[in-house]
A and B are shown apart, each in its own frame.
Chain A
Amino acid sequence: MTDRKRTTRKAPTRAGGSPAALKAERALRLLDFYREMLFIRRFEERAARGYTQAFVGGYCHLNLGEEATVVGLMSALRPTDYLFTNYREHGYAIARGIDPKRIMAELYGRVDGVSKGWGGSMHMFDLTHRLLGGYGIVGGQLPLATGAALAIDYRGGDEVVMCTMGDGTTNIGAFHESLNIAGLWNLPIVYVVINNHLGMGTTVEKSSAEPELYKRGASYRIESERVDGLDPVAVATAAQHAIEVARAGRPYLLEVVSERLRGHSVVDPAKYRSADEVAHLKDLDPVHAMAARLVAEGVSDDVTLAVLDQEVMSNIEEISAFAEASAMPDVSTLFDYNYATPVPNDSRRLPGQPLFAANPTSGANQ
């Protein structure tokens, strides 16, 4: 986040605590949320364009419609807390404070990417910002996050793990095994279900016998709550409570009701949605709603917001230019991450390369 122009997220200053000061503080916070939401929106739109330009390959799942959820959740974490998330993760990486140039470079598969071009859209990782991975397998991150919470507990630390997932993930075995273990062992973890009503094209009602997903916490005596994911302030407040519970040594299940404005991934035209539903989505756009709120509450005005958008757009262009200029990984690095502890007889052969040198008398080729 080196060159992004944004309001610094300082700890709230309680100087005076007068009504005017509190109002100003609230206004600053709303603006801060909006700026970050807008940034994620424009970043994701640019990522989608990068896909059509063939700079971005593979799968590409966007946080469009999830911006309020992302910034609300991430605002509640301390820098020392850990985040495990799934494959719809660009916004989370941005909101954790990772340089967005490195995030875009990862999408472009370049050496400057957060995962050095090894992960792509679904597998971003940054230890410094304690993003312990986006994961491409639905539910794969849940046992891992639970284990990270176990490690914190083992060492007596005061960090918390947040583990986000989609609504469809609540039906996978790893969800139940993880929540059960966290409940049994009192682990400091917040499981967050981001319910955008659709697992690819299948509705929650069609896939979940208990569609009020937060209620599943009851099976493990895990406190749970459902919150409106279109309101970043409401999400932040709920997340703060959840994190307090976790920091005190009990897991928590938070369901955030969010939206997915486009298809499951950039290549999904979402034809399974009705015209009415699609038309209604415009009313559920959290970025538009937040802009309207800022104007209605007198925090900002249309002109200022338009200028802000221009600033963000220009920043995004710098970011994509950086990604495009970053080098592709050299083929000679293909075997750099075979093993962390080197071992003899590690296989380092390109396709078609023989196991042994052509001359059988010359001995084995390592």
Chain B
Amino acid sequence: MRYLDEYRDGDASRKLLDAIAAAATRPWTVMEVCGSQTHSFLKYGIDQMLPSEVTLIHGPGCPVCVTPAEIIDQAIALAERPDVTLVSYGDMLRVPGTAKDLLSVKAEGGDVRMVYSSLDALKLAREHPDRKVVFFAIGFETTAPANAMAVVVAEREGIDNFFMLTSHVLVPPALEAIASSPENRVQGFLAPGHVCTVTGYVDYERLAGKYRTPMVVSGFEPLDLLQATYMLVRQLEEGRCEVENQYARSVKREGNEQARALMESVFEVVDHGWRGIGVIPRSGLRLKGRYARFDAGRVFDIAATTPRQAESVCIAGLVLQGIRKPVDCPAFGIDCTPEHCLGAPMVSSEGACAAYYHYARQGAPR
């Protein structure tokens, strides 16, 4: 199939692997920021094929994983209301809040629906004017423009039974938190290609300079990741700290200006909590005051409760910061599986623990 097969070519992969091996003369630790990149690395077995000089650590780029439990609890509280239809991306349904997940609420009779797009949620609101339709809007800068669009359309069409519970997060502040941490081991970043498609990478250039850390904006197919890894290793070996763009077929330096403008017109930047990590300054988005009547967090009486901190061996926070690997967790694959997870990275399709569980449980530890 065109646009896929050429990025999954075995011969080209082997050439790039050889090139990486030839370029790497010292050990380098690099982080792929996005969870989809983590999954590609493991799904194609690339992590095992890279030379031993290159150590991958997995980044926080799993929006489902970093959504705070208290916001999931709010979603659950909304889904339990008889007048509410709670609409969400599929991944979010299985992520545990403090006491349960949204799928359990659905089984108990709550009206919980899964969609692929915020505009589908809007459609539900249009078709069911008697229901309060709440869209659980999560994600990085990739999903924010489409979610912003849903609010703009709702306002334009006067759809007053549509609301959004938002937990939108931004990548650059998270990278800054990692790069500035005293525990940081990351020497170079594979930056998230789809986020940068929207935002461009001007912000990343500032971070690369400030923290003397090279970055390569990378795609998600095996050849994208191999080529980006090669470019990053070259930068590291040559002592350069630039932002290079491997994913040029999708990413421009300035990003998608229309999408950015839309995002900026609907959302404002706020401090935001990241599950397992804590509050990162100016790392989240919420609806601007003008759109407050669509903001489920403000319209409904669901004051944020402080979730009780259950005793847990789960190390999701450390995994999300790249400090530990999923297999370092004593619960991995034993008390924590996709069916009974202790932490969100085990259930999300972008979670690092899920990637290890599905693709790499067998054989030598990675």
Partners in one complex: no
Interface residues of A (CB under 8 A from B): none
Interface residues of B (CB under 8 A from A): none
